[in-house]
Amino acid sequence: MAVRTLDDHLRASAARTPAKTAIVAGDRRVSYDELDRLADGIAGGLIASGIERGDRVGVFLPNTVEGAASIYGVLRAGAAFSPLNPTMKAEKLGQVLADAGAAGIICETAHRGVVGAAAALAPSLRTVVCVGEGEAGDIPFAQLAAHEAPRSLRATAIDLAALIYTSGSTGKPKGVTLTHQNMTFAAASLAEYLEMQHDEVVLLCLPLSFDYGLYQLLLTVLVGGTLVLEKGFAFPGRVVGLLESEGVTGLPGVPTLFGVLLGLRGLGDRELPALRYLSNTGAALSVTTIAGLRETFPAARIYSMYGLTECKRVSYLPPHLIDVKPASVGIPIPGTEVWVEDGDGNVCAPGEVGELIVRGPHVMQGYWNDKDATAKRLRPGRWAWERELMTGDLFKRDAEGHLYFVGRKDDMIKSRGEKVAPREVEEVLYAVPGVRDAAVIGVPDALLGSAIHAYVSVFEDAELDERMLKRACAAKLEDYMVPQRIEIRDELPRSTAGKIDKLVLSAQALERLAAATA
Amino acid sequence: MSVRDELYDYINENFLYLQPDLELTDEDRFLELGVIDSTGVVELVGEVEERYGITVEDAEITEDNFGSLAGLVRFVSSKRTAAV
């Protein structure tokens, strides 16, 4: 059958191998046929509840069967889904739902309170679906899923499929708009270079709300493999157990996950003959971690990759080069092109540093409702109808064309593989009564990629300590954005222009780090 | 001090201050309540190894053993018994 929309992947796999296990989550095993029918029911139920073609529906669920099925159900209803991190707090959730003009949200009992508080900020929200016990007026998930399938195909390839919110340097989250075409292209390109097979068993410990996690679902369903869903990797003993018991073939991770795994005693003695590949993105793998992975998983291919939500993925290092060029993130993904450009728009010579530009069918359509931000990332391309993505990341390439990440043009931090805007954390700190100044920086950390450090000065009569400030952050921010360290100082260093000098703070943090490891 | 009280104090000191309104019971699951995340568990494993002189194998870092105060007390006690 022809694949036009993302949910066609599910239809095709369900038609090909209906009895095959699509999703494993805890004790549940769901076949392709069951997943397909679940998506049908959700779609029918959403339409019956008043969700219309083109509406945006938030999926505010952890890694569960319901979370995975909801994504396909929303799409099948002709609507677009917005994956939302379940640790998001009420105020931000409200902001995001309001920005998206979301008509519906699918959540579970544990987060129903947060949704209630957020709904007050999002007047567009009409439908709340709750997995488990909800509130009066909610549609129980089980009831939704019991509906008949909608009769006609409701979306086309150029319709909006997903609205993925990502941190922006201004501190305000931006919605990346992706069509079905964007996403079916990206999924096929990724599956191609990962050489994914129909017998793939992918273990996902990263949240489905994170686009890297989301794509594991899309890729597995595309090839007709099995996705094992885990709620995080807090208990790595369970991860190790699943690698063995499920015969996992693919393990997507971020440096934090691989760091935790390599720190385990006994892992290297296990034989994991099924494990074919490990993939990393979100932040660069250190050369030490790569060496550790090579030693612990000698038979697995290691993919070092680079990307941004705005085009899903940019590049990957062909795995046979991992020992030769461990610091490189390789070549553009199949079907796309990239180049490094100087400030005047000239293509840089090998070794020269410039901005990475991306061109291909995976490039987003723009930021939702934000023309100015879109204009800073997308510019007219080779043809009148196309636009190129200016990544804002500094790169260089070597003589053979392999890419190397050099740094960012803005001050965004990558922690646990996720993007954190210092401004967003600073705003939470500034909102604490008694805080005079706040500055947030990223500091290299073996486990986190970058640790988030905050420096705060307080007014004289303020009685604040680090713990109170950390608590304030934990109450407002997603878990991965909460600073690991908050330091209160009499005064923060300032540049001659009077701005807080983050370079001085970074230099001091690095000195302390060097002293601690010396 | 009992192992339970020592471990409660450690968790209280290092993790619970983020949620001052939470009254943690021995059976409460850390992860569900957001008390501890993946890096927190790594710290907890290190602490338990050092404090009680035990060795934790990869497959032992499960929710049963490290996911609640009660689980942790059971795990530490059984490891210490095994070591004697």
**pLDDT tens track for A92-113:** 999 999 999 999 999 999 999 9
Q: Over 80: is that where the pLDDT of B65 sits?
A: yes
Task: Determine the pLDDT at residue A267.
Answer: 83
Nearest alpha-carbon partner for A314 in A175, A189, A181: A189
For A451, name the nearest residue in chain B, comparing CA atoms only: B39
**Who among A234, A238, A267 is closest to B37 (CB)?**
A234
Neighbours of A151 (CB within 10 A): 8
Asked whether the beta carbons of A423 and A412 are under 8 A apart, the reply is no
Matching residue, tokens 């970058």 = A450
Distances in Å between the Cα of A454 and the Cα atoms of A105, A330, A485 are 33, 34, 6
Q: Work out the average pLDDT over A355-361.
A: 98
- Name the interface residues of B facing A (CB cutoff 8 Å): 17-20, 31-32, 34, 36-42, 55-63, 65-67
Q: 3-class DSSP state for residue A277?
A: strand
Residues on chain A touching B58 (C-beta within 8 angstroms): 236-237, 240, 264-267, 270
Q: What ipTM goes with this model?
A: 0.79
Shortest alpha-carbon distance between residue B73 and chain A (Å): 16
Shortest alpha-carbon distance between residue B41 and chain A (Å): 6
Q: Which of A114-123, A147-156, A303-312, B49-58 shows the lowest mean pLDDT across its residues? A: A147-156
Task: Determine the pLDDT at residue B13.
Answer: 85
Residues on chain B touching A237 (C-beta within 8 angstroms): 58-62, 65
| A498 conformational bin, left if phi > 0, alpha if psi -120 to 50, beta if neither | left
Asked whether the beta carbons of residue B31 and residue A232 sit closer than 8 angstroms, the reply is yes
Give B82's pLDDT tier (boundaries 50, 70, 90). Answer: confident
Asked whether the beta carbons of residue A235 and residue B20 sit closer than 8 angstroms, the reply is no
Task: Determine the pLDDT at residue A323.
Answer: 92
Matching residue, tokens 């500091």 = A443
For A400, the token pair is 């053979």
Task: Determine the pLDDT at residue A231.
Answer: 85
Shortest alpha-carbon distance between residue A64 and chain B (Å): 14
* CA–CA separation, A317 and A310 (whole Å): 20
Those residues whose C-beta lies under 8 Å from the C-beta of residue A415, and which sit 6 or more positions away, are A442, A445, A448, A449, A450, A451, A452, A480, A481
Q: Name the DSSP class of A285.
A: P
Asked whether the beta carbons of residue B61 and residue A236 sit closer than 8 angstroms, the reply is yes
Q: Over 80: is that where the pLDDT of A116 sits?
A: yes
Amino acid at A381: G
* CA–CA separation, A430 and A449 (whole Å): 26
Q: 3-class DSSP state for residue A357?
A: strand
DSSP secondary structure of A377-435 = HEEE-SSTT-EEEEEEEEEEE-TT--EEEEEESS--EEETTEEE-HHHHHHHHHTSTTE
Q: Which of the two residues, A516 and A124, has the higher pLDDT score?
A: A124
Q: How far is CA A99 from the centre of its chain?
A: 19
Q: Work out the average pLDDT over B21-47.
A: 85
Give B83's pLDDT tier (boundaries 50, 70, 90). Answer: low
**A340-356: burial string, b at 16+ Cβ within 10 Å, e else:** bbeeeeeebeeeeebbb
Matching residue, tokens 């090998």 = A350
Task: Determine the pLDDT at residue A366.
Answer: 98
Task: Give the Cα-Cα-Cα angle A58, A415, A63 (nearest 5 degrees).
Answer: 35
Residue A65's H or E segment, with its range, is helix A65-76
Q: pLDDT tens digits, residue range A235-252?
A: 888 899 999 999 999 999
Asked whether the beta carbons of residue A234 and residue B17 sit closer than 8 angstroms, the reply is no
- Classify burial at A466, counting beta carbons within 10 Å of its beta carbon; exposed 0-12, middle 13-18, buried 19 or more: middle
Asked whether the beta carbons of residue A447 and residue B42 sit closer than 8 angstroms, the reply is yes
Asked whether the beta carbons of A453 and A439 are under 8 A apart, the reply is no
Q: Which of A318-322, A444-448, A500-504 shows the lowest mean pLDDT across its residues? A: A444-448
- The stretches of A224-286 forming alpha helices (DSSP H) are 236-245, 255-262
Matching residue, tokens 């992918």 = A202
Residues on chain B touching A472 (C-beta within 8 angstroms): none
Task: Determine the pLDDT at residue A264.
Answer: 85
Residues on chain A touching B47 (C-beta within 8 angstroms): none
Asked whether the beta carbons of A226 and A202 are under 8 A apart, the reply is yes
Please give the mean pLDDT across all residues of chain A: 94
Nearest alpha-carbon partner for A143 in A156, A161, A129: A129
**Who among A110, A233, A264 is closest to B38 (CB)?**
A233
Q: Which of A73-77, A253-257, A309-313, A335-339 shows the lowest mean pLDDT across its residues? A: A253-257
* CA–CA separation, A395 and A357 (whole Å): 10
Asked whether the beta carbons of residue B34 and residue A87 sit closer than 8 angstroms, the reply is yes
DSSP secondary structure of A286-343 = PHHHHHHHHHHSTTSEEEEEE--TTTS--EEE-GGGTTT-TT--BEEPTT-EEEEE-T
DSSP secondary structure of A436-480 = EEEEEEEEEETTTEEEEEEEEEE-TT----HHHHHHHHHHHS-GG
Asked whether the beta carbons of B11 and A419 are under 8 A apart, the reply is no
Q: Work out the average pLDDT over A10-37.
A: 97
Give A171's pLDDT tier (boundaries 50, 70, 90). Answer: confident
For A257, the token pair is 């996950």
Residues on chain A touching B34 (C-beta within 8 angstroms): 87, 479
Q: Over 90: is that where the pLDDT of A154 sits?
A: no
For A238, the token pair is 């369970």
- Rg, C-alpha atoms of chain A: 23
Shortest alpha-carbon distance between residue B13 and chain A (Å): 10
Give B84's pLDDT tier (boundaries 50, 70, 90). Answer: low
For A235, name the nearest residue in chain B, comparing CA atoms only: B62
Proportion of chain A above pLDDT 70, given as a percent: 100
Amino acid at A417: G
Task: Determine the pLDDT at residue A409.
Answer: 82
Asked whether the beta carbons of A46 and A73 are under 8 A apart, the reply is yes
Amino acid at A90: A
Asked whether the beta carbons of residue B39 and residue A256 sit closer than 8 angstroms, the reply is yes
DSSP secondary structure of B43-60 = HHHHHHHHHHT----GGG
Number of helices and strands in chain B (H, E): 4, 0
Those residues whose C-beta lies under 8 Å from the C-beta of residue A498, and which sit 6 or more positions away, are none
Asked whether the beta carbons of residue A266 and residue B55 sit closer than 8 angstroms, the reply is no
Task: Determine the pLDDT at residue A453.
Answer: 96
Residues on chain B touching A256 (C-beta within 8 angstroms): 38-39
Most confident among A178-182, A342-346, A421-425 (mean pLDDT): A178-182
